[in-house]
Amino acid sequence: MKFSASKENHLKAIFHLQLEQGIVTTNALAAALQTRPASVTDMLKKLKDQKLLLYERYKGFRLNNEGKKAAIQVIRKHRLWEYFLVKKLQFGWDEVHEIAEELEHISSKKLVDRLDAFLGFPDTDPHGDPIPDSQGRFLQRRQISLSELPLNKPAQVSAISSQTTEMLELLQHKHIQLGTRLEIRKKFPFDNSLEVKIRNRPPVTLSAQVAKNVLVKDDE
């Protein structure tokens, strides 16, 4: 099976979103892909016709087995290329994403497997995310507390461990929710508070108590 770059991008984004919540919504996917909900709907129909997606209109959607397999192959390519760029071509880990976004659409399966071998079958990419093997097997990535996250390492909120109303209210006010991408800009040893940066927003400060209960995983 060979898919267009756009289809691969949709599959990949759906895969990531449905790790969070089992079901994915049109708006969420549109936001993830920086496109419009109407465009997403158009693509969903095509993916459904190709039997990669379980989808009923107005009711959300998720990948079926075929879709997942396809998505994982794209993710495998992306992460192997990132590894190559950082380890062999001396790129910084923060500048490889865009290039890998292009390279991941090169279709040759043999190329990917040869690249994998050339790199020594690495199992995590430069951001710490697991690289699926040739059969699409995944080592699920671990989530850590925000308080353990290294400085300037992009992460994504994957869970909130203490769900008191007060806590959720505080997080909502600071625009932090499930799936929020963020990184730590500064750590204050005095009280272990953190300054956290969310894309397109001014930095916010979180106490150690809050940070301890926000679980994150490496962003890709």
Residues that bind a second copy (CB under 8 A): 85, 88-91, 98-99, 102-103, 106-108, 111, 114-115, 118
Question: Which does residue 46 touch among DNA, a second copy, none (CB within 5 to 8 A, set by kind)?
Answer: DNA
User: Which amino acid type is present at position 85?
Assistant: L
For residue 108, the minimal CB distance to a second copy (Å) is 5
> What phi and psi values does residue 219 have, to the nearest 5 degrees?
-85, 155
Measured at the alpha carbon of residue 210, what is the angle toward residues 209 and 214, in degrees to the nearest 5? 125
Q: Which is nearer to DNA, 46 or 97 (CB)?
A: 46
Residues 203 and 185: beta-carbon distance below 8 Å:
yes
Question: Which does residue 192 touch among a second copy, DNA, none (CB within 5 to 8 A, set by kind)?
Answer: none
Largest Cα–Cα distance of the chain, in whole Å?
57
Bridging pattern class, strands 214-218 and 204-206:
unpaired
User: Which residues are within 8 A (CB) of 204 and not within 5 positions of it... i.e. 6 or more apart?
Assistant: 174, 175, 176, 195, 196, 198
Question: Which does residue 88 touch among DNA, a second copy, none (CB within 5 to 8 A, set by kind)?
Answer: a second copy
For residue 33, the minimal CB distance to DNA (Å) is 8
Alpha-helix residue ranges (DSSP H) falling in the chain: 5-20, 26-33, 37-49, 65-87, 97-103, 109-118, 165-173, 208-213
Piece in contact with DNA (CB under 7 A), picked from 14-22, 39-47, 111-119, 199-207: 39-47
Question: Which does residue 124 touch among a second copy, DNA, none (CB within 5 to 8 A, set by kind)?
Answer: none
For residue 106, the minimal CB distance to a second copy (Å) is 5
Q: Look up residue 144 and give its two tokens.
A: 């850590």
Residues 48 and 55: beta-carbon distance below 8 Å:
yes
Q: Which is nearer to a second copy, 102 or 123 (CB)?
A: 102
For residue 74, the minimal CB distance to DNA (Å) is 14
Q: Is the dihedral of CA 31, 33, 37, 41 positive or negative?
A: negative
For residue 126, the minimal CB distance to a second copy (Å) is 15
For residue 192, the minimal CB distance to a second copy (Å) is 37
- Answer for which of 1, 2, 22, 38 binds DNA (CB under 7 A) is 38
- Answer for which of 19, 20, 46, 168 binds DNA (CB under 7 A) is 46
